[in-house]
Structure 1
Amino acid sequence: MSFQAYLNTIKAQTGKTPADFRQMAETKGFTVNGKLQVKATEITNWLKADFGLGHGHAMAIYALLKGIKDENSQ
């Protein structure tokens, strides 16, 4: 599955865009000025609990928040 396919599935399941997840992470204090402040486990636990995402999809959002990937990644 391509990274973009992960993002498409996440949007279909949650109705949230990458920008929405960035904003929510900032509000929760997981990021400060766009810089990740927590470990991957905290992000994946949040996304699994609040949005029902599986581990792979939660890790895709983590990759966005960490700056490893962006919306234009394939």
Structure 2
Amino acid sequence: MSFQAYLDAAEKKTGHTPQELVDQAHARGFGSETKAGEILAWLADDHGLGRGHGMAVVHVIKNGAGISDKHVGTSGTHSDEADVLRLDGIANR
């Protein structure tokens, strides 16, 4: 599953775009210095997200939309189309 696919699945599960989740997290004071476990607990408690989908959201909360180009344009299961993730929601594509 690509990084973007994890974010899209998280959106479907929560009803919130990735950007909305990032904004909620930042409003709670979560950011680059926050431990992943703290963010994961919030995502599980408030949004019902498990660890896999939660870690994708944790990445964008802590690091922004940019990802490593390691899998960009590859044919593997973790292939992404670009090194910048779409956070604006599935409906905006």
Report if TM-score (shorter chain) is over 0.5: yes
Q: State how far apart, in whole Å, the 2-side matches of 1:3 and 1:48 are.
A: 19
Q: Which runs of 4+ in 1 moved over 2 A?
A: none
1:71 corresponds to 2:85: yes
Unaligned segments of structure 2, at least 5 residues: 68-83, 87-93
Q: Which moved more, 1:22-31 or 1:40-49?
A: 22-31
Aligned-residue RMSD, C-alpha: 1.5
Higher-Rg structure is 2
| Superposed displacement of residue 37, structure 1 | 3.1
Q: State how far apart, in whole Å, the 2-side matches of 1:65 and 1:26 are.
A: 8
Report the structure, 1 or 2, having the larger strand content.
1
| Superposed displacement of residue 40, structure 1 | 0.4
Q: How many percent of aligned residue pairs carry the same amino acid?
A: 43
- Which of 61, 67, 71 is 2:57 aligned to? 61
TM-score by length of 2: 0.66
Residues 35-50 of structure 1 correspond to what in structure 2 (within 5 A)?
A: 36-50=32-46
Query: Does the residue aligned with 1:6 lie in a helix, a strand or coil?
Result: helix
Unaligned segments of structure 1, at least 5 residues: none
| Superposed displacement of residue 22, structure 1 | 1.4
Report the structure, 1 or 2, having the larger helix content.
1
Query: Does the residue aligned with 2:54 lie in a helix, a strand or coil?
Result: helix
